[in-house]
C-alpha cells in the first residue's frame, strides 16, 4: 500500500517494493580488501617464498602473521624479522566439506601451524597433506610446500600446503 506523505517524492507501490526486495542469485558481488601494512608485507614476502613476522622489543614476542600493533603492550611493534617456513602442528581438523558446506570426495586436513622462530602460540591456518589423517600428531614437525616462484601471486596459497618435515 502506498503511503501518503506531506513531503515531495514518489512512494513505491507494493509491486515496486517487492521488486526492490527481490535478490537474484548468484549475486554479482565484487569487493576489495585493504590488507594493511603488516599483512600486505606478509603477502608480498610469500611471493618471494619467505615468511616474515614483526617483533615487539618490550614483550620480546615475534608475531606471525605480523601486526603493526602489539596487543599485549599496547604499542607499535618494532621490526621485521624473517621466520622459518617450518613449524609444528598446534591443532588440526579433518574436513569433509568445502568452505561453502558442499561435500568433498576426499577429506582435507586443516591445521594451525606454529611457525619456527615465532613466539609460542603464533601460527597460521593452512592445509596439511602427504599424510593420512590418522597419522597426524599434535606437535609433529611440518614444512611448507611452495608453488614454483613463477606461479606465486602474493597469496597464502603460494604455500600449497604443509607436509611432515624433519624433526629438529
Which of 17, 37, 68, 73 binds Zn ion (CB under 5 A)? It is 73
Classify residue 125 by burial, with Cβ atoms within 10 Å: 0-12, 13-18, 19+. middle
Residue with smaller CB distance to Zn ion, 18 or 58: 58
Site string for Zn ion, 28-67 (x = CB under 5 A): ----------------------------x-xx--------
For position 141 contacting Zn ion by CB under 5 A, the verdict is: no
Residue 42: phi and psi, rounded to 5, are -55, -45
Q: Compute how many other C-beta atoms are within 10 angstroms of the C-beta atom of residue 160.
A: 14
Which of 70, 118, 142, 144 binds Zn ion (CB under 5 A)? It is 70
Q: What is the dihedral of CA 106, 110, 111, 117, to 10 degrees?
A: 100
To Zn ion, the closest distance from the beta carbon of 123 in angstroms equals 17
Tell the residue number behind the cell numbers 614476502, with chain if given.
Answer: 45
- Grid coordinates of 146: 611452495
To Zn ion, the closest distance from the beta carbon of 62 in angstroms equals 10
Query: Residue numbers of the site for Zn ion (CB under 5 A)?
Result: 56, 58-59, 70, 72-73
Amino acid at each position: 500500500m502506498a503511503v501518503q506523505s506531506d513531503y515531495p517524492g514518489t512512494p513505491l507501490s507494493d509491486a515496486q517494493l517487492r521488486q526492490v526486495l527481490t535478490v537474484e542469485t548468484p549475486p554479482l558481488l565484487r569487493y576489495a580488501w585493504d590488507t594493511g601494512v603488516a599483512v600486505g608485507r606478509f603477502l608480498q614476502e610469500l611471493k618471494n617464498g619467505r615468511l616474515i613476522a614483526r617483533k615487539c622489543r618490550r614483550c620480546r614476542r615475534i608475531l606471525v602473521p605480523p601486526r603493526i600493533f602489539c596487543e599485549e603492550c599496547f604499542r607499535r611493534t618494532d621490526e621485521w624479522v624473517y621466520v622459518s617456513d617450518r613449524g609444528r602442528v598446534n591443532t588440526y581438523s579433518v574436513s569433509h566439506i568445502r568452505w561453502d558446506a558442499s561435500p568433498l570426495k576426499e577429506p582435507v586436513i586443516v591445521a594451525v601451524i606454529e611457525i619456527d622462530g615465532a613466539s609460542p602460540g603464533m601460527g597460521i591456518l593452512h592445509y596439511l597433506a602427504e599424510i593420512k589423517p590418522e597419522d597426524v600428531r599434535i606437535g609433529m614437525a611440518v614444512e611448507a610446500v611452495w608453488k614454483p616462484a613463477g606461479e606465486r601471486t602474493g597469496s597464502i596459497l603460494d604455500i600449497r600446503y604443509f607436509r611432515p618435515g624433519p624433526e629438529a
